[in-house]
Amino acid sequence: MDGRNRANISIGIEVAIVKKEDQRTGKITTGIICNILTNSLFHPHGIKVRLTTGEVGRVLNIISVSDINRT
């Protein structure tokens, strides 16, 4: 799923993000969303989130959605 639409993002899902310091290298970090930091419904570079590890970055892809978060 696309990480640019806030409707696709929810706390507790596993995502692939790119951190600010890794944008040039393209290094991808994966983890579980703890907080959603972007307020707008759409962001062309991806919705900014904080992972449970404390890392902050923009969502590139949604890896998995738990059954709890499905509507």
Quick: pLDDT tens for 6-47: 999 999 999 999 999 999 999 999 999 999 999 999 999 999
Half-sphere exposure of 13 (CA within 13 A, CB side): 23
Residue 28 in any domain: the answer is yes
CA distance 69 to 71: 6
Contact between 61 and 3 under an 8 Å Cβ cutoff? The reply is: yes
- As given in the structure block, the two tokens for residue 22 are 């890794």
Cite the beta strand spans of 1-71 per DSSP E. 14-19, 29-36, 48-51, 56-64
pLDDT in tens, 20-29: 999 999 999 9
Does 25 map to a domain?
yes
Give pTM, 2 decimals: 0.87
Domain count for the chain: 1
Within-domain flag for 12: yes
Could you list the residue range(s) of the whole structural domain that residue 44 is in? Answer: 6-66
Note whether residue 71 is domain-resident: no
**Domain annotation covers residue 14:** yes
